[in-house]
Amino acid sequence: MTPDDPLSQLRDIHLPPTQGFWPPAPGWWVLALVLVVIVAALAWLVRRHRRRTLWLRLARAELANLERTALKEPQWFTQLNSLLKRVARERYPLERPEAQSGEQWAACLLRHFPGNQMVHKPVVEALVISTWQAKPTAEPADALDFARRWLEAQKC
């Protein structure tokens, strides 16, 4: 071969040198940014939900405590009634449930109870009346059952 022959100077097909993993392509940067935004938004939503439902979780814990100490005494019914009023005040502030008593309070409880209200009307009336009676007429088990169901119906 002669040195003037241009074909002799050609090399075989070769690949360019491989690029390292860093820096990533712009698409990977965009994907990482989108994932960070999504994770931050989810964390913010979960935190906000937990803050907004803190009162409901505390009420459920207090109801569980009342359940352990269930007695047929006016003080116990007063504590249960107070718990329900605090939850109603948090959930329905415009109705001012803390200022209601007697039939108004029973009607408020029933109004915000899903399902057949007539079935629970005697239990609610006995619960409200038992707060002021020396010998309560309501049964603690029935009152607790109603309070548990009423709390479960209070969604945020």
| Res. 156: pLDDT tops 70 | no
DSSP state of 15: P
Q: Is residue 47 part of a domain?
A: no
Is residue 29, in this structure, part of any structural domain at all?
no
In a domain, residue 113? The reply is: yes
96-134 confidence digits (pLDDT tens): 988 888 889 899 898 888 877 777 788 888 888 888 888
pLDDT higher than threshold 60 for residue 30? yes
**What is the extent of the structural domain holding 99?**
54-153
Q: How confident is the model at residue 47 (pLDDT cuts 50, 70, 90)?
A: very high
Report the number of distinct structural domains present in the chain.
1
114 located within any domain: yes
Looking at residue 113, its pLDDT comes to 85
Scanning the chain, the segments in alpha helix (DSSP H) are: 26-52, 54-68, 74-91, 102-111, 117-130, 140-153
pLDDT value of residue 31 = 97
* Calpha distance 82→90 (Å, rounded): 12
Nearest to 116 by CA among 67, 143, 149: 149
Q: What percent of the chain has pLDDT over 90?
A: 38
User: Does some domain include residue 133?
Assistant: yes
The model carries a pTM of: 0.72
In a domain, 16, yes or no: no
